[in-house]
Amino acid sequence: MTGEIYIPVRHHLLSHCKDLAQITRIYSHSQGFEQCQAWLSENCPQAENISVSSTAKGAMLAGAEPDCAAAICSDLGSQIFKLPILQRNIMSSATNATRFLVLGHSKCERTGADNTLMTICIDHKPGAMAGALGVLAKHSNNLCAVESYPDRDSPRRCFVWIGTLPPSSLRRTTPGIRALSV
């Protein structure tokens, strides 16, 4: 991984309908409903929420319906499906963003605000995860994400994906990684 890019998420309510009170159905991916729940509860409590595979699919379905259906989608979805934006920025958090990891073979210069991502393999037994995370804490690593996945080759082990934030510089992270390697 050579970097990361954050793209702001802006959810809008798209519909051919002109009045929020007339909307009968709203299509969206479940994540869109979750991120817009407060606005929807206040402004479209009468509408049935229908989960679909993506916000784009929701816009396509809402645009094809003859009555007052709507979709939670982006500006681009509005353009592609020719579905007008009835209400802009209906998401609950203005700081919502999607993170994309940049993969490549070239090295990037350190900025001082660099994150560290690592994967470790631990035994699937009581205390193993706490022990591994304790080693990283001892070396002043600021953890931001921890996810575990079973090892397909061994039911007695699991892989743990760990993300650290600055100031967990390489200088602080490296001793923790070395201690985990023992």
Portions of the chain given CATH number 3.40.190.10? 3-98
Report residues of the chain scoring pLDDT below 50.
Answer: 168
Amino acid (1-letter code) at residue 5? I
Residue matched to tokens 């929701």: 58
Q: What is the pLDDT of residue 80?
A: 95
pLDDT tens by residue, 107-145? 777 776 777 778 888 998 899 989 988 888 888 788 888
Rounded Cα distance, 135 and 137, in Å: 5
pLDDT of residue 24: 95
pLDDT at 102: 78
Superfamily name with CATH number, domain 3-98: Periplasmic binding protein-like II (3.40.190.10)
* Phi and psi based region of residue 33 (left: phi greater than 0; alpha: psi -120 to 50; beta: remaining): alpha
Position 167 scores a pLDDT of 59
pLDDT of residue 67: 81
Please report, for residues 13, 31, 71, the alpha-carbon distance to residue 36 in angstroms, rounded to integers and kept in the order given: 10, 9, 11
State the angle between helix axes of 170-180 and 128-138 in degrees (0 to 180), rounded to the nearest 10: 150
Residues of the chain with CATH 3.30.70.260: 109-180
State which CATH number among 3.80.10.10, 3.30.70.260, 3.30.365.10, 3.40.50.2000 fits the domain covering 109-180.
3.30.70.260
**What is the token pair recorded at 162?**
């760990």
Cα torsion at 111, 113, 118, 124 (round to 10°)?
170
